[in-house]
């Protein structure tokens, strides 16, 4: 007798088995000399059961009228099925057992068929099997497979629905108003408002049960749940109010022309903090943050075009491809340049360079900077300029050159109704009449 070695059989062997079955009937290797009229399944051999637990472990039942076909009907959504001890049926998507002989027990429901033996499993491959995958559900973000073992502390604790036509779309509709939904045990839908803990994450291969309503979709498993998030657009982020969905060109001419920040783990809160000195910020493509002031030249787009989840928070929406979700400070206007500050009048937006300053006199910085504060500090000079929201520079000679006015759209740290330059840009004032 050949030595018995443990094996795990997966989809590649399914193809091999299917390729070798070319007849409508087949003699069962190692069985009694009986033929089985085949449906969409192929004999795979006789295997020992019970050495490392069940060889096929996902579903099972026993019946005193057992036949090969009735077992197949029960296991039709699985990759393998097997009959044992004349009356037992087992289903699974992997086969973990050594090959054997001795599958000679007649099926309880049809003595012309064999149904394994004691600790021996007649295994068949379902040639029509479709490997289920987590569904792609529009308007959601798939989070993964999670352990859900404690019935008193469910990953998603709310609004259970069990249905024999369960699908991911049905579960999403059932959980309308919740932030998260999940599918378990093939037919159970659960809802919730918080993410499952990362410590509960399970391998994707743990979630193997096909959905009762669509065998091409996966719906968790025993104590395993597939989870989706339903991202939304918060009305407020800090003191920014949601402004709308807008086109972004994706070229050098962006809708918001201030600073830019990229982060694969982007959230609305991160972008708001980065753009805190601008009247507006926008998020795009899940990972891009833009700051600026003026979008009046753009036409709003339907909200459905800004439906990409933020890379760092699947419950938030961060624009889309060439689409910005824009937030704006509602009470602070667009900022402005003061017409005059003490004896100074506004001149222009001006270039600056940290290695060669355009104004080389005194300077200071303050987390409470305003234009008037800088004007008072630079009294006696011919020019002053405010930069990057918090920096003040004085001088009698103005280097550099004029820049586009939209380059100076950084709000002053001490007064977010005033412009205070930008990065490497000065809002320059000069003594009246020079």
Tell me the pLDDT tens digit for each residue of 157-202: 999 999 999 999 999 999 998 989 999 999 999 999 888 888 899 9
Mean pLDDT, the chain, whole residue set: 84
Confidence of residue 40 (pLDDT cuts 50, 70, 90): confident
- pLDDT given for residue 25 in this prediction: 27
Q: Token digits for 69?
A: 């076909």
Whether residue 293 is predicted with pLDDT greater than 80 in this model: the reply is: no
pLDDT tens, residue by residue, 100-145: 999 999 999 999 999 999 999 999 998 888 788 899 888 888 999 9
> Between 364 and 238, whose confidence is greater?
364
d(CA 386, CA 390): 7
pLDDT for the residue 31: 33
The β-bridge partners of 48 are: 120
Q: What is the average pLDDT across 268-292? A: 92
Distances (CA, A) of 406 to 259, 277, 279, 427: 12, 14, 13, 11
**How far, in Å, CA of 71 to CA of 266, rounded?**
50
- Report yes or no: 274 and 280 within 8 Å, Cβ to Cβ: no
pLDDT at 383 over 80: yes
């Amino acid at each position: 007798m050949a030595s018995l070695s443990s094996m795990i059989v997966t989809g590649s062997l399914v193809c091999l088995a299917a390729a070798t079955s070319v007849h409508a009937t087949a003699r069962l290797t190692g069985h009694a000399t009986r033929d089985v009229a085949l449906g969409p399944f192929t004999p795979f051999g006789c295997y020992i059961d019970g050495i490392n637990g069940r060889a096929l472990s996902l579903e099972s039942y026993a019946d005193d009228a057992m036949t090969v076909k009735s077992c197949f009907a029960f296991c039709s959504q699985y990759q393998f099925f097997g009959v044992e001890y004349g009356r037992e049926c087992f289903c699974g998507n992997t086969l973990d057992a050594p090959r054997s002989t001795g599958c000679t027990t007649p099926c309880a429901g049809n003595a012309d068929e064999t149904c394994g033996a004691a600790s021996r499993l007649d295994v068949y491959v379902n040639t029509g099997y479709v490997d289920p995958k987590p569904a792609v559900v529009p308007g959601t973000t798939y989070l993964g497979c999670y352990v859900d073992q404690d019935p008193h502390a469910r990953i998603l604790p709310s609004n259970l629905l069990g249905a024999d036509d369960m699908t991911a779309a049905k579960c999403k509709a059932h959980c309308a108003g919740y932030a998260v939904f999940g599918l378990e045990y093939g037919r159970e839908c659960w809802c919730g408002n918080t993410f499952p803990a990362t410590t509960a994450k399970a391998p994707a291969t743990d979630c193997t049960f096909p959905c009762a309503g669509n065998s091409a979709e996966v719906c968790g498993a025993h104590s395993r749940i597939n989870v989706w998030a339903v991202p939304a657009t918060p009305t407020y982020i800090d003191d920014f109010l949601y402004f709308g969905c807008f086109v972004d060109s994706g070229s050098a001419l962006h809708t918001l022309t201030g600073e830019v920040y990229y982060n694969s783990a982007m959230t609305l809160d991160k972008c708001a903090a980065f753009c805190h000195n601008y009247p507006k910020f926008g998020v795009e493509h899940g990972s891009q943050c833009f700051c600026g002031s003026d979008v009046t030249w753009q036409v709003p787009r339907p909200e459905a075009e800004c439906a990409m989840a933020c890379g760092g928070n699947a419950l938030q929406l961060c624009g889309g491809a060439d689409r910005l979700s824009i937030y704006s400070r509602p009470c602070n206007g667009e900022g402005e340049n003061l017409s005059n500050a003490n004896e100074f009048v506004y001149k222009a937006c001006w270039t600056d360079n940290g290695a060669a300053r355009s104004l080389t006199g005194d300077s200071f910085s303050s987390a409470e900077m305003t234009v008037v504060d800088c004007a008072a500090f630079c009294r006696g000079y011919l020019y002053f300029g405010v930069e990057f929201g918090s920096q003040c520079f004085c001088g009698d000679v103005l280097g550099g050159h004029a820049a586009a006015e939209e380059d100076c759209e950084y709000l002053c740290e001490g007064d977010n109704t005033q412009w205070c330059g930008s990065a490497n840009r000065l809002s320059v004032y000069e003594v009246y009449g020079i």
